[in-house]
Chain A
Amino acid sequence: MKSLKTLEELSALKAEALKSSNLGEDTTTTRVVVGMATCGISAGATPVYEAMVEQVSKKAPDIMVSKTGCIGICCMEPIVEVHEPGKEKVTYVFMTPEKVEKIVDQHLLKNQVVEEYTIGAKE
């Protein structure tokens, strides 16, 4: 990996990173994040993350699954958020490995939000 020496190199890297991470506004691929800070992990986020990686790699390999830090509402961990291009994110709370399959099958594959697991259902 080469050292960054100029602001132009940093900007070029940013543009590249925006694409590879699906964090840009013009991204075309869905990004799924699992809250994996201490609060999430202690509530059982690790098996949720593993189930998500396994399910997605099997059924929808184009979708990106990523760990992330504390999403904020620690009392509803484990939390999974689905960021689809051009849409408001969907927040799933109190996740379990069993619920992951339904989210992958219904939301990620068929585009139907699993409302019963979303934050609105628990608020």
Chain B
Amino acid sequence: MNTVTSLKDTKFFARQERVALRNCGIINPELIDEYIARDGYQALGKALKTMSAQEVIDTVKDSGLRGRGGGGFSTGMKWQFAKNSENDVKYVCCNADEGDPGAFMDRSILEGDPHALIEAMTIAGYAIGANQGYIYVRAEYPIAIRRLEIAIKQACEYGLLGKNIFDSGFDFELELRLGSGAFVCGEETALMTSIEGNRGEPRPRPPFPAVKGLFEKPTILNNVETYANIPTIILKGADWFASKGTQGSKGTKVFCVVGNINNTGLVEVPMGTTLREVVEEIGGGIPNGKKFKAAQTGGPSGGCIPASLIDTKIDYDNLTAIGAMMGSGGLIVMDEDTCMVDIAKFFLDFTVDESCGKCTSCRIGTKRLLQMLDDITLGKSSLEDLDKMEELCHYIKDNSLCALGQTAPNPVLSTLKYFREEYEAHVVEKRCPAGICKDLVTFEIVEEKCIGCTACVRVCPVFAIDGKVKSPHTISQEKCIKCGACFEKCKFDAIIKK
């Protein structure tokens, strides 16, 4: 026990810097007055009263803010394209359809600081010349939806949404659209198709949304976290924001640190923080004294970062260079007991379920890829199959219309790149080094170590262990279902996993 009594003084918090999460965990998200007390809507006032639309866009451009949903495209440039598109009707959309397994950055912002999003979208509307905004939020976030509804109602009451905001002649309305949990709707064109009331399927680009987006009108679509940065950028200026982070990636990034890590949670650090700092200091290391093996960023679209690259400075360009990607901010930490083939299989299983089915390469390709991974974990593959699998990965990437298909093979490619020897152990030696793939694992009793306590006999659910008290036991391999219960139970390390 140490004498720290405040979260602020913990290692978990020391390296963090909160910009997008500035109000999360501080204000009551259901009271607009508390947001206003923390400089809320000052940026909107400043933009509408003292800045031209172009000045707002220039500030966002100069800040170097890049899309926090994963793509990393310059937010200011996106706004500029939409502003330059001539049309009497334009739209501002927010992508709150967070679907990566283990990611909850956007949910936390929506639940903790919904007004930040409303303020930022109104500023965006003013900048590009739009009077209508849509927040596309998944129906699985009921608390976020409720707090957004409350926030929109309160903003309307104060005249911060609606007609003639701040007496500037600018009108802006905001509506929610609920997504029904299809992962593909996080893709921008599928999201807009879904808002239009159609089945959520992506469409070809160009035309890009900034030219022809929602209802065929110029549209900008940004992620929740991207928007959450906007009010502070407008208020404190582009230089302030650009002073944080690295050369190509400015500001801070929110991560959800999950998996085999002591401190699971929501973390915001300046770009350029190393993975080691996030895992070992903020995350408090790996539980049970295990070793760090890899971290997966970008969820099912991303790749893994192996332990050898733990000192990588996290930013868009570095992560892309090593075959992973920034993604929306999910950071899944894996310890030495993780099988990388099994992890690739887990993510592929997810994309197979979530592929919308429009492109053959994605619909059938991911299915075949999953079967190939399955065969590897069953010990039915050869080295040749690994090459075929790699070829299929590239085929899927090259032939899919949207990012879902284009990135679906990433977990396979990056684990193949950094953990090829693990795939080879499965294929050649028919062995799973981490002891996860059941069909390649056997449990055996070491005669010399077994004292005959019968603990394993009693715990075995299928009566596969024979043996008398005080004489060594044996496991019947025919009966064994490889549940590992005996392995966990044995206090004398007499049971080994091969």
Contact = CB atoms under 8 A, between A and B. Distances in A.
Interface of A: 1-7, 10, 13-14, 16-18, 20-21, 23-24, 33, 35, 37-39, 41, 66-75, 79, 81, 88-91, 113, 115-116, 118-121, 123
29 contacts: A1-B158, A4-B158, A5-B159, A5-B166, A6-B49, A14-B36, A17-B34, A17-B37, A21-B27, A21-B28, A24-B37, A33-B25, A38-B104, A38-B111, A38-B144, A67-B28, A69-B23, A70-B21, A72-B13, A72-B25, A73-B10, A79-B7, A88-B8, A89-B8, A115-B3, A119-B7, A119-B10, A120-B10, A123-B2
Most B-side CB within 10 Å, residue of A33, A79, A91? A91
Nearest to A118: B5
A40 to B, nearest CB: 9
Given A1-B158, A21-B28, A73-B7, 5 more contacts: A37-B107, A72-B21, A73-B10, A90-B6, A123-B10
A71 B28 CA distance: 12
B156 to A, nearest CB: 9
A20 B36 CA distance: 12
Contacts of B1: 115-116, 120-121
B45 A72 contact: no
Interface in B187-230: none
A67 to B, nearest CB: 5
User: Which of B5, B24, B34: most chain A CB closer than 10 A?
Assistant: B5
Given A66-B28, A68-B28, A73 B12 contact: yes
Given A14-B39, A18-B37, A38-B104, A7 B29 contact: no
Interface stretch (B259-267, B295-303, B390-398, B447-455): B259-267
B224 to A, nearest CB: 13
Contact of B24 (A69, A79, A81): A69
Nearest to B41: A10
B42 interface: yes
B111 A69 contact: yes
Interface SS majority for chain B: loop
Contacts of A113: 5
Given A33-B26, A120-B2, A4 B33 contact: no
B495 to A, nearest CB: 31
A105 B16 CA distance: 33
A81 B30 CA distance: 18
A75 B144 CA distance: 20
A23 B100 CA distance: 35
A90 to B, nearest CB: 5
Nearest to A68: B25
B113 to A, nearest CB: 6
A113 B111 CA distance: 29
A70 B266 contact: yes
A24, A38, A116 pick with most chain B CB within 10 angstroms? A38
Contact of A4 (B28, B113, B159): B159
A10 B2 contact: no
B108 interface: yes
Of B23, B46, B159, the most chain A CB neighbours within 10 A belong to B159
A88 B9 contact: yes
B478 interface: no
Given A10-B45, A37-B112, A70-B24, A1 B33 contact: no
B173 to A, nearest CB: 15
Given A23-B26, A39-B104, A67-B28, A74 B266 contact: yes
Contacts of B113: 69
Nearest to B11: A123
B29 A67 contact: yes
Nearest to A70: B108
Tell me which of B16, B104, B108 has the highest count of chain A C-beta atoms within 10 A of its own C-beta: B108
Contact of B25 (A18, A71, A88): A71
A38 B112 CA distance: 10
Contacts of A74: 264-266
A67 B37 contact: no
A77 B495 CA distance: 37
B384 interface: no
B38 interface: yes
Given A38-B111, A89-B6, A72 B265 contact: yes
Given A5-B166, A115-B5, A121-B1, A70 B10 contact: no
Contacts of A23: 26-27, 34, 37-38
B7 A89 contact: yes
B34 A21 contact: yes
Given A1-B157, A68-B112, A120-B4, A20 B28 contact: no
Contacts of B26: 23, 33, 68
